[in-house]
Structure 1
Amino acid sequence: MAAPLLPERVMTTLHTIALAVESLAEEVPRPRLLDGSGVACSDLDTPDKLISHAQELRVFANALSCTRDPALGLSLGLRMHVSAYGILGYTMLASRTLRDALNIALANASLLGSYFTLTLEEDGAEARLVATGYRYAPELMVFNSELCLTSLLTVIQDLLGEAVRPRRVRLPYRPPLHAAAYTEKLGCPVDFGDSRTALCFNAALLDRPLPLADPVTCHHGLQQCQKLDAQLTSRHDVLDQIREHLAGHLSEASNLDRVARSLHRSERTLRRHLQRLNTSYQRLLDEVRYDKARQLLLQTDLPIYLIAEQLGYAETASFRHAFQRWSGQPPSQYRR
C-alpha cells in the first residue's frame, strides 16, 4: 500500500489562514484558531513566512470546531479577494483579459496554495475551472472544495470588476446539511454527486478585457511571480534532498551536520533554511521515519524490534512511543 503524500511536505503562504483569523476575530481568539498549528500570532505579520499544508489544515479544523459553522468554507472563499494573493493577484489584475489572468495563475500554481490541481477547460459556451487531485484530510474535503470554488469566483469577479453569476457548480459529494447555503451564496444551480469538482461560467467572459489591464505592470509582475515560484520550488527541492539522504541513512541516525556535508552546505546555512520554511531537522527525520515505518509494517513481516533498528532507534520502546505519537496507534495495531 503506497503511503499518501504527507501534507507536511507541501509549503504555502500564510494568506489563507491570515484571512481566516481576521474574518473570525470577533468570534474566536487568535490563539484558539492557531492552537496546535505551530503558527504564532506574530507570524501573521510576516508576509514572507511559509507554512506547511498540515499547519494550515489544523487552523481550518480549529475554525470549524470553534464556529460550528458548516458553511464556513463558502463564507471564507467569498472573502478571499484577488489582492490576498500578493504579487500574483496584482499581476492578474494587470493582465489583458480574464483568460490571460487565469492562465498566469495556473502557470504559477504554487503561489495559489490550492489543495487541488486546477485546469481551465472550454466546452462551447461554457468555461470551467476544474479542481482535481485532492489528497489531504478527508474530513476537510467539503470545506476545502467550498473554499476553492468560491475563492475562484471571488477572484473572477475582482478581475472583471463586476458581479458574475456562475452557470453552475459541480461537486462530487452528496448534498451536505447546509446545501441550501450553496444556492444562496453562489446564486446558481449546484450539481451534487457529480463526477467532477468545477466552477462553470460563460466562456465569453474569458476574452473580456480587464479594466485594470496594464502591459508593463503585468510583465514585471509576471517576472516576479516566476521568480517566487522558482524559489518555492527550489526550497522544496532542498527538503527533498534532505529527505532522500535521511531515507538512505536511517540506521545511522544521521545528524544535521552529516546531512549538510553530503549536500555541500554548512550546518548553519541548512538550519537557517529549515527555519525559514517553518520546519526543523527533527520534523523531517520524523517524516522519513514515519514513511519508512508504515512501509515496513504493511509490506514486510519484520519484527518490531528490527524495524526500530532500521529506523535508527537504539530502543524498541522509543520507536513504539514515536509511532503512537505519529499515527495515534501502536505499530502492532497499525500492522493489522
Structure 2
Amino acid sequence: MATSLLPEERALTTLHTIALAVATLASSGTDRRLLLEGSGVSCSDLDTPDKLITHAQELRVFANALANTRDPALGLSLGLRMHVSAYGMLGYTMLASRTLRDALTIALGRPALLGTYFKLSLEDDGDEARLVAVGYRYAPELTVFNSELCLTSLLTVLQDLLGTSIRPLRVCLSYRPPLHAATYEQMLGCPVEFGASRNALCFDAELLDRTLPLADPVTYHYGLQQCLKLDAQLDSRHDVLDQIRHHLADNLREACDLDSVARQLHRSERTLRRHLQQLNTSFQRLLDEVRYDKARQLLVQTDLPIYLIAEQLGYSETASFRHAFQRWSGQSPSLYRR
C-alpha cells in the first residue's frame, strides 16, 4: 500500500535524522542508495538543509536501514549518535538556554522542529523528572525502532546540554521485551522496564534547574526568534498544501491542473510549483491523495456503483480509476469495499 497517501502520514519533517542514519551506516560500508531506495530522497537531497520530506519517506529509509544492517538494536545505536547539534537552530538555542528546564520547554513546544513521531511532555514529580513519549501512530513494524531512537536521542540531548554524562534513573517502554532486550541496560546504563503504560526516560529532577555550561542570553534570544520564524514557515507550508487539497476536494469532477488551482488561490503557478518542490511533493501526488481519500470514503460509506465513483473523482474512464486505486491500495475497489 502507498502509505504516504494516508492522511496521518502527511506530516513534514527535516532531513536531519535520515541524513545522520545514512552517513553513519555508509561509514560502516552500507550502500547509501540501498538505504534511500523507494523513499523518493536522493543522495544530493541529503546536502540540502531546507528540503522537507514526509514521515512516510523517512519511515521507508528506517525500514531499509533495518533490512540492510540486520541490526535489531539499530534504533538504540543511532539515537545515541543524535547529538543536539543535529537539530539545527533549535539545537543551538537549547544549548544557549539558561537551564535544562528552559531548553526542554523550547524543544517540546516546537514538535515540528524536533521531527518526532511521539507526543512529548516533561513531568516533574518530586525527585524524578520524566520525558514521556506517547501517541505513536505510524508504521507498527517500526514501533520498537522508533521508540528506541526517540528515547536514546533524548538521553544524548540531555547529556549534550549538561555537558556531562548522566545515568538515567530508569527507562520505561510500552512494548514487550524484544529479542535484543539484554542490550538495553548495557547501552543505556540504567534499569529498563518493559510492558509499561507509556514510554518514558526518567532522570534526577535536580538536573532540571541546573545552569547549562553554554548558556548565553543574547544567543538564546536570537535563536528563539529564528526558531519561531522556522516554525511559522513550516506551518505556512502545511497551509499551502491544505489549501490545494481543499480546493481539489471541492472540484474533483472538473479537470484540475496546477494553473487553474493557482488562479483560484490567487497565487502564481510558478510559486506553487516551487512550494511543492521544496516540500518534496507534486501536484499529481496531492491530486492522488485527495482522490484516494474520497474513493475510500465513497466505497465504504455509500453503495454507489464503481463507475459513478470514478466520475465523482474526475475520471473519464472507470478502468483508469480501477488501475489508480490498485496502485494506491494494493487491491481493487471492489475488494476494498468488502
Q: TM-score range by the shorter chain?
A: over 0.9
The answer to whether structure 1 residue 57 and structure 2 residue 59 are counterparts is yes
Structure 1 gaps of 5+ residues are none
Distance in 1 (alpha carbons) for counterparts of 2:183 and 2:316: 55
Bigger shift: residues 22-31 or 229-238: 22-31
Q: Deviations over 1:9-39 (max 9, x none)?
A: 2111110000001110123111110011111
Partners of 1:268 and 1:71 lie apart in 2 by 45
Cα deviation code 1:43-73 (max 9, x no counterpart) = 1111111111111111001001101111111
| Pairwise CA distance, 1:253 | 3.5
User: Normalising by structure 2, what TM-score?
Assistant: 0.96
My pick for the range that moved more, 77-86 or 169-178, is: 169-178
The 5 A counterparts of 1:291-330 are: 291-330=293-332
Corresponding residue SS for 2:7:
coil
Tell me if the contact between 1:78 and 1:153 (Cα under 8 Å) persists in the aligned partners. Answer: yes
Q: 1:97-119: per-residue Cα shift (whole Å, max 9, x none)?
A: 00000001011211100011111
The residue type equivalent to 2:24 in the other structure is S
Conserved 8 A contact 1:5-1:135 = no
SS at match of 2:315: coil
Q: In 2, distance between residues paired with 1:298 and 1:143?
A: 33
Please tell me whether residue 150 in structure 1 is matched to residue 139 in structure 2: no
How far 1:4 sits from its partner (Å)? 6.0
**Partner of 1:200: helix, strand, or coil?**
strand
In structure 2, the residue matched to 1:47 is 49
Secondary structure of the residue that 1:250 maps to in structure 2? coil
Cα shift at 1:225: 0.5
Which of 260, 268, 271 aligns to 2:270? It is 268
Q: Which residue is 2:86 aligned to?
A: 84
Cα distance between partner residues in 2 of 1:320 and 1:177:
42
Q: Which residue of 2 aligns with 1:171?
A: 173
Deviation string, structure 1 residues 110-134 (Cα, Å, up to 9, x no partner): 1100011111111111111111221
Please tell me whether the aligned partners of residues 27 and 67 of structure 1 are also in contact (alpha carbons under 8 angstroms).
no
In 2, distance between residues paired with 1:231 and 1:242?
17
The equivalent of 2:194 in structure 1 is: 192
Is the deviation greater in 93-102 or in 118-127? 118-127
Residue aligning to 1:130: 132
Alignment RMSD (CA, Å): 1.2
User: In structure 1, the residue corresponding to 2:253 is in which secondary structure?
Assistant: helix
Report SS of the residue matched to 2:80.
Answer: helix
Letter in 1 for 2:253: S
Number of positions where the alignment pairs a residue of Structure 1 with one of Structure 2? 333
Return the letter of the residue paired with 2:192: V
Partner SS for 1:247: helix
Q: What is the alpha-carbon distance in structure 2 between the residues aligned to residue 67 and residue 187 of structure 1?
A: 24
Q: CA deviation at 1:259?
A: 1.0
User: What's the % identity of the aligned pairs?
Assistant: 80
1:209 counterpart residue number = 211
Aligned to 2:163: 161
CA shift for structure 1 position 177: 0.7
- Contact persistence 2:94–2:220 (CA under 8 A): yes
CA distance in 2, matches of 1:123, 1:74: 26
CA displacement 1:223-245 (0-9 Å, x = unmatched): 00000000001100110111111
Maintained 8 Å contact 1:168/1:191:
yes
Cα distance in 2 for partners of 1:297, 1:165 equals 53
Could you list the per-position Cα deviations for residues 149-179 of structure 1 after superposition, in whole angstroms to 9, with x for gaps in the alignment?
1000000000001111111111111111111
Give the 3-state SS of the residue equivalent to 2:203 in structure 1.
strand
In structure 2, C-alpha distance between the alignment counterparts of 1:253 and 1:196, rounded to whole Å: 48
- How far apart, CA to CA, are the structure 2 residues paired with 1:327 and 1:180? 38
Cα pair distance change 1:4/1:128, threshold 3 Å: farther
Counterpart residue identity of residue 138, structure 1:
P
Structure 2: stretches of 5+ with no match in the other structure: none
- The TM-score normalised by the length of structure 1 is 0.97
Tell me the amino acid that sits aligned with residue 15 of structure 2: L
Structure 2 residue 239 is matched with structure 1 residue 237: yes
Moved runs in structure 1, 4+ residues, more than 6 A?
none
Write the letter of the residue equivalent to 1:157. Q
Q: Residues 253 and 311 of structure 1 are in contact (CA less than 8 Å); yes or no, is this contact kept in structure 2? A: no
Contact 1:4 1:135 in 2 (8 A): no
Q: Secondary structure at 2:53's aligned position in 1? A: strand
The residue number in structure 2 matching 1:6 is 8
